[in-house]
Amino acid sequence: MSPQTNLVLLGSTGSIGVQTLDVVARLCKVGRPFRVVALAAGRNSRLLAEQIESARPEVVSLADERAAEDVRRRFPGLRVLAGEDGLVALASLDEVDVVVNAVVGAAGLPATLAALARGRTLALANKESLVTGGDLVRDALGAGGGRILPIDSEHSALLQCLDAGRRADVDRLVLTASGGPFLDLGRADRATATARDALRHPTWSMGKRITIDSATLVNKAFEVIEAHYLFDVPYERIDAVIHPASILHSLVQFSDGSLIAQAAAHDMRIPIQYALTYPERVSTGLPQLDLARVGRLEFRPVDREAFPAFGTVLAAAHAGGTATAAVNAADEVLVARFLEGEIPFGGLDRGLEATLAAWARERADGDVPATLDSIRSTDHWARAFASGLTL
């Protein structure tokens, strides 16, 4: 029997959070015991209550104070925290081995920094931590002595491919992208697509925001930023390629021209489990890939004209400073407005471009360095700006 792993799960009620609890249950069954010390959610007190019944955490936190009150009423003996401070408190708990950050959005950054400051192993799904505060995360990692294990399938793949050679011999990282539901739609048809169309992802079942971000390729550009910070590779040596079947999750090209790829079934529980057992591999009955049934593998370049938001996010990455925090915050607002039926799908591309242009004008005299405070104020500014845009 392996020693028990003490785990904190942030974002437990989401797509990754629910799958993480499934993986934990599978690992426990095969003699890899986990103790769920703490759970955090946004506002879904009903699902969190079910998770409390089965996982028996010592402490929980909800972003929403009313939802926290609801949980306090249902579980009078349980410690229930609330708001951003509650989330950060959970990420900073003592005697924790792994913090899984599966919160969606910029709200995940302070918890990432707190977990790394305490030297924890951080199993990271919240890519926005690296998109909005990559330099801060890198500093916290260096200062705290912890480590980050990616949960995103592409970055889990890169981690595995990088093990095939020496870092000095890495030529390029190649991220694969399914291309989302509108890959073969003309730009005009895509511009008027509805939320229902955009939520129908061809290969993955995920939370709403990342599903819409996959349809605009914003998600893929976020993943380029994520790869840059996770693996310390310059942007010029990170490519994205469309691979509609999502069988190869990413590749590393070495200096001799060899491309090493990782393939697996489309099931996020596989990279989640790898982050929890790294570097070991454990058989827990997750789906296996049958290559004979996969048939042909297709690859195409990213059409930057058809998916302009991909270039906008990468332009923000190259601008550096708080530009990516601005673009991320605007995207969170624009995706919510699109899902509400307030703006058309094409408005997502236009809104991001307008936000980046406004960010550049605002900072014509030079950007402020990216600190948690400047990231927060840029985030607030970009949310207000994107909320007011007529698209």
Ligand X SMILES: NC(=O)c1ccc[n+]([C@@H]2O[C@H](COP(=O)([O-])OP(=O)(O)OC[C@H]3O[C@@H](n4cnc5c(N)ncnc54)[C@H](OP(=O)(O)O)[C@@H]3O)[C@@H](O)[C@H]2O)c1
Q: Is 206 in the site for ligand X (CB under 6 A)?
A: yes
Of residues 219 and 354, the one with the C-beta less far from ligand X: 219
Q: Is 336 in the site for ligand X (CB under 6 A)?
A: no
Contacts of 43 (CB under 8 A, 6+ apart): 62, 63, 64, 66, 67
Task: Give the 3-state DSSP-derived string for the chain, with helices as H, strands as E and coil as C.
Answer: CCCCEEEEEECCCCHHHHHHHHHHHHHHHCCCCEEEEEEEECCCHHHHHHHHHHHCCCEEEECCHHHHHHHHHHCCCCEEEEHHHHHHHHHCCCCCCEEEECCCCHHHHHHHHHHHHCCCEEEECCCHHHHHHHHHHHHHHHHHCCEEEECCHHHHHHHHHHCCCCHHHEEEEEEEECCCCCCCCCHHHHHCCCHHHHCCCCCCCCCHHHHHHHHHCHHHHHHHHHHHHHHCCCHHHEEEEECCCCCEEEEEEECCCCEEEEECCCCCHHHHHHHHHCCCCCCCCCCCCCHHHHCCCCCEECCCCCCHHHHHHHHHHHHCCCHHHHHHHHHHHHHHHHHCCCCCCHHHHHHHHHHHHHHHHHCCCCCCCCCHHHHHHHHHHHHHHHHHCCC
| Distance in Å, CB of 165 to ligand X, minimum | 25
What is the pattern of x (binds ligand X, CB under 6 A) and - over residues 98-137?
A: ----xxxx-x-----------------xxxx---------
- Which position's Cβ is nearest ligand X? 14
Which positions from 152 through 181 interact with ligand X, judged by CB under 6 A? 152
Binder to ligand X among 25, 26, 33, 44 (CB under 6 A)?
44
Segment interacting with ligand X (CB under 6 A) among 88-96, 132-140, 205-213, 290-298: 205-213
Of residues 43 and 363, the one with the C-beta less far from ligand X: 43
Question: What's the Rg (C-alpha) of the chain?
Answer: 20
| Distance in Å, CB of 382 to ligand X, minimum | 17
Binder to ligand X among 7, 37, 39, 40 (CB under 6 A)?
40
Of residues 61 and 367, the one with the C-beta less far from ligand X: 61
Segment interacting with ligand X (CB under 6 A) among 141-149, 201-209, 279-287, 322-330: 201-209
Of residues 84 and 342, the one with the C-beta less far from ligand X: 84
Binder to ligand X among 7, 9, 38, 41 (CB under 6 A)?
41
| Distance in Å, CB of 278 to ligand X, minimum | 17
Binder to ligand X among 146, 165, 207, 344 (CB under 6 A)?
207
| Distance in Å, CB of 210 to ligand X, minimum | 4
Segment interacting with ligand X (CB under 6 A) among 207-215, 257-265, 312-320, 374-382: 207-215
Q: Is 227 in the site for ligand X (CB under 6 A)?
A: no
Segment interacting with ligand X (CB under 6 A) among 206-214, 236-244, 319-327, 369-377: 206-214
What is the pattern of x (binds ligand X, CB under 6 A) and - over residues 247-286?
A: ---------------------x------------------
Which of 334, 382, 383 is CA-nearest to residue 358?
382
What is the pattern of x (binds ligand X, CB under 6 A) and - over residues 7-26?
A: ----xxxxxxx---------
CA dist 179 and 346 (Å) reads 16
Task: List contacts with ligand X (CB under 6 A).
Answer: 11-17, 40-44, 63, 87, 102-105, 107, 125-128, 152, 204, 206-207, 209-210, 268
